[in-house]
Structure 1
Amino acid sequence: MKSVAFFNNKGGVGKTTFTYHLGYALEKLGKRILFVDLDPQCNLTAHLCDEDTINDAWSTDGNSIYKAIAPIVTGAGDMQTINPYKVPNRNIWAFIGDLLLSDFDGELSNAWTQVLAGQERGFRVTSSIYRLINEFAEQNNIDYILIDLGPNLGALNRAILLGCDNFIIPMIPDLFSLRGSQNLGRVFADWISNYENAKQRIGNLNFATPNGKPVFSGYVLQQFNVYRTRKTKAYQNWGGQIPTYIQEFVINPLTAVDPNLSLTLANFQVAEFKNYHSLVPMAQESLKPIFELTNQDGVIGAHYQYVDNCRNEFGDIANYLSSII
């Protein structure tokens, strides 16, 4: 079992679309997949579930991921177990996102202060979603936990990233995406160092806690345009600078803390995912990945070639990532 978070401090880089398609591609390889939507925008949930399912999950008796940590937010107790949504006829499950997760950020901020002070409650609160996810994954033989995070360096993302085995940075070839990567390694390194020191002070606990050593596992270059089989000028201008930024602002700070916090990868890129334009909303409306769209979903003419290209693209990506993670 491996947990992989997809994160960038810059929004709009297509991380949700990539995460969703990767999960379905890995499932086609025979893997059992658990999605976890921890982006307050809930875009991954909207990819996976129809409105009735989401409405039920957000109801009083629902099973959104917020319901699992609601007792902590209200002061009523510890995390409570909930069952994730099961995608019909697939080996895919999902902890449904919830806009109310923002209420948990304040609790996690207080808990981090307690973690740094070596207090048990801080570790219990910080590890709550980690424990929920891993308990289900272990009981159901999940192969990959794929976690979609919002574009910020807040308390929720800190708690989740410290509990992940691996993290991947989706990027697009533009100035803003490069800028969004500049503080990642430094901030993550501080989190990891502080958490490691706190763990040494607290000693053994009677519940599972995160390892606190997320491994950088490459970046994904996506949403670039192709014209007559060639990548456009924006790719040439900005895409070529990404490896330098990754080395300086992600890998160097992390490996200064622990040499094992980065995979050894040529140029650090693990995948490319080009812009599929109108097929993305079509896939969202059909609750399918692009590579499973048919004429009944609105595929016509040249779309068929794009569907085939996407199928081949994600087949290769899933095979490669399963070989390194």
Structure 2
Amino acid sequence: MKTIAFFNNKGGVGKTTFTYHLGYSLETLGKRVLFVDLDPQCNLTAHIFDDNEINQSWGPGGNSIHKAVEPIISGAGDFKTIPPHKVSNRNIWVFMGDLLLTDFDGELSSAWTQILAGQERGFRVTSAIYRLINEFATKNNIDYVLIDLGPNLGSLNRAILLGCDNFIVPMIPDLFSLRGSQNLGRVFADWIKNYELAKARIGSVPFNIQNGKPIFSGYVLQQFNVYRNRKTKAYAHWGSQIPHYVQQYVVNPLVAIDPNLALNLQNFQVAEFKNYHTLLPMAQESLKPIFELTSQDGVVGGHFQYVDDCKAEFRQIGKKIITLI
């Protein structure tokens, strides 16, 4: 099992779209996939399930990710084991997102202070979602856990990133995406160093905790426009600067504390995903990936070529991810 988090400090970079399509592509390649929606916007959940299913997961007896940590938030105990929702006729499971998960941030903030002080409760709270995910994934032979995170450097994302095996940074080629990358490596390196010191301070605890060694596994260039088979000039201009920014602000701070914290990738780009324009809202409406759209979903004329292109593109990306991670 490999756990991959998709994260960028800047929103609007197509993170959820890429995560969703990659997961479905991996499943078509024979892998068992668990999605975990930890972005408060819940876009990944909304891309897979209709409103009735989401409402049920939020109601009494539901199985949103918030339900699992409610006992911690209320002070009643450890996390509650809940089953993720299985996608019909697919080897895909989903821990649904929930806007109320932001309630857990306060607990995680206090828990980090306790971790730094070497207190067991801090590790118990911080590892709760990590243990929930691993408990299900281990019992059900999951191959890939794909985690969608919100665009911030808050307590929840810190807890999750310290527990993932790999993280990938989706980016779009613009000034703001470059700017958003400038504090990633520095902040992550601080988290990792402090967590290592805290683990050494407490020694051992009677439950599983995060390894605390997330490996940077490249960036995804996406939402670039193509004109006559060439990227438009503005996007090409900003896109050409990404490898330098990633090297300086993400890779260098991480490998300075551990040379194994970044995969050895040429220019650090793991994939690229172009803008499919009107097909994306069509896919969202149909609750399926772009590469599975049909005429019954509204695909006509030249759209069929885009559907085929998307299928080939993500099949190649999926195979690359399997090889790398």
TM-score after normalising by structure 1: 1.00
**Structure 1 residue ranges (4+ consecutive) displaced by more than 3 angstroms after TM superposition:** none
> For each residue in 1:199-241, what CA deviation from the matched residue of structure 2 results, as whole angstroms up to 9, or x when unmatched?
0011111100000000000000000000111110122210000
Aligned residues: percent identity?
A: 76
- Please tell me the residue identity of whatever aligns with 2:40: P
Determine whether 1:318 maps to 2:318: yes
Q: CA deviation at 1:12?
A: 0.1
Number of corresponding residues: 325
> For each residue in 1:162-205, what CA deviation from the matched residue of structure 2 results, as whole angstroms up to 9, or x when unmatched?
00000000000000000000000000000000000000011111
| Mapping of residues 47-58 of structure 1, within 5 Å | 47-58=47-58
Determine whether 1:194 maps to 2:186: no
Distance 1:305 1:158 in 2: 41
Distance 2:234 2:77 in 1: 51
- Please tell me the residue identity of whatever aligns with 1:68: A
> For each residue in 1:44-76, what CA deviation from the matched residue of structure 2 results, as whole angstroms up to 9, or x when unmatched?
000111111100000021000000000000111
For structure 2, which runs of at least 5 residues remain unmatched after alignment? none
Distance 1:163 1:306 in 2: 37
Q: Which residue matches 1:22? A: 22
Determine whether 1:203 maps to 2:203: yes
| Mapping of residues 178-193 of structure 1, within 5 Å | 178-193=178-193
Distance 1:178 1:184 in 2: 11
- Please tell me the residue identity of whatever aligns with 2:114: Q
Distance 2:164 2:118 in 1: 21
Determine whether 1:107 maps to 2:107: yes
| Mapping of residues 282-297 of structure 1, within 5 Å | 282-297=282-297
Give the match's secondary structure for 1:223.
Answer: strand
Q: Which residue matches 2:9? A: 9
| Mapping of residues 236-275 of structure 1, within 5 Å | 236-275=236-275
Q: Which residue matches 1:281? A: 281
Q: CA deviation at 1:278?
A: 0.7
Give the match's secondary structure for 1:257.
Answer: coil
Distance 1:49 1:211 in 2: 32
Q: Which residue matches 1:80? A: 80
Distance 2:302 2:231 in 1: 19
After superposition, the CA RMSD in angstroms is 0.4
Distance 2:80 2:116 in 1: 25
> For each residue in 1:96-150, what CA deviation from the matched residue of structure 2 results, as whole angstroms up to 9, or x when unmatched?
0000011000000000000000000000000000000000000000000000000
Distance 2:105 2:236 in 1: 39
- Please tell me the residue identity of whatever aligns with 2:44: L
TM-score after normalising by structure 2: 1.00
- Please tell me the residue identity of whatever aligns with 2:307: V
Q: Which residue matches 2:60? A: 60
Q: Which residue matches 1:95? A: 95
